[in-house]
Amino acid sequence: MEHRRLGASGLMVPALSFGAGTFGGRGPLFSEWGTTDSQEARRLVDICLDAGITMFDTADVYSAGASEEVLGKAVKGRREQVILSTKTGLPLGDRPGDAGSSRSCLITACEAALRRLGTDYLDLFQLHAFDAGTPVEEVLATLDTLVQAGKVRYVGVSNFSGWQVMKSLAAAEKHGRPRYVSHQVYYSLIGRDYEWELMPLARDQGLGAIVWSPLGWGRLTGKIRRGAPLPPGSRLHRTADYGPPVADDHLYRVVDALEEVAEETGKAVPQIAINWLLQRPTVSSVIIGARDEQQLRQNLGAVGWSLAPEHLAKLEAASHRTAPYPYYPYERQEGFARLNPPVFATPR
């Protein structure tokens, strides 16, 4: 397993990491993702470690904390072999203090995550969403307290906009607080919005992308094809409204290209979709999930090889969409592009 530096930090992470969203199975959404219990989870962790996957990502909102509990039991006795990453900030209930990044919320969430995971430190503690109601100075001061106490080693964010990231980084520099080293983002062949603003920002500021849903919310598994109904076992029947939207014509254009590349390479469609991401700028790690051993082993086949230039070109042509203003001039007009080639010239 290739290891990469997480952004501009000293933390080395595997190119593939494992997402524990399928652990626990509580609630209408997460039970559709998976219902992996502690025994099954330990088996999946065993396979991951054998393959060199040492980073495991979860969140307090996943199955109302059950994901963290199951993951903690699965890694018990081998804490020093793994990198534990969790997230907080999304609503856990209806009370005023059940969401956000206030000092109270962050300290409470960190302590609860440590307890559920059965550890005394978190390798990576991430804000799951931007909290517009809490000053960034308060957020960063609280994270600094947790880092100084040895409870958190690195901090990151997830699902932030560009201005939200930059405001936070500027405040961290001004006040001498910990800088975010990572941005956990949605990025896939059918969802390339990350490239328009967040990728150039990450390149400029040294943020490593940790990619969630690399298969486009289950649409790039190889089971969804043009002119065919959704397969009976697909979770899209019940969860599509929760995930990133994609127009059918765009989806099928990408799927057609994936199938052509699959036929030419002998690789599976999801392996190709993940391998493409691993060759993109700023990507430090791609999170793979699995409800069972078979899915996990198939996703592991995404590493150890690289797509040929002609295959990359085919996939990028099929998946490309014109960027919105003010970004499209930089990729379409020579004068704009010449002003910012290091930042905006991302391969496609």
Q: What is the pLDDT of residues 143-155, one digit of tens each?
A: 999 999 999 999 9
* Cα dihedral across residues 209, 210, 212, 216: positive or negative: positive
Q: State how far the alpha carbon of 249 is from the alpha carbons of 66, 230, 319, 320, 347, in Å.
A: 37, 15, 11, 13, 23
Q: What is the pLDDT of residue 30?
A: 79
Closest C-alpha to 151, from 210, 226, 86, 102 = 86
Is the CB of residue 216 less than 8 Å from the CB of residue 186? no
Is the CB of residue 345 less than 8 Å from the CB of residue 337? yes
- 330 included as an active-site residue: no
Q: What is the pLDDT of residue 234?
A: 62
Q: Identify the helix (H) or strand (E) that includes residue 43.
A: helix 38-51
- Those residues of the chain that have pLDDT short of 50 are 237, 347-348
Q: What is the pLDDT of residue 31?
A: 74
Exposure string over 118-149, b if 16+ CB within 10 A, otherwise e? bbebbbbbbbbbbbeebebeebbebbbbbbee
Tell the residue number behind the tokens 């979860």, with chain if given: 58
Catalytic residue from among 62, 154, 180, 330: 62
Q: What is the pLDDT of residue 312?
A: 97
Q: What is the pLDDT of residue 239?
A: 63
What would you report as the CA-atom Rg of the chain, rounded to the nearest whole angstrom?
A: 20
Q: What is the pLDDT of residue 226?
A: 82
What is the C-alpha to C-alpha distance for residues 221 and 203, in angstroms, rounded to an integer?
A: 29
Q: What is the pLDDT of residue 100?
A: 96
Mean pLDDT of the chain: 92
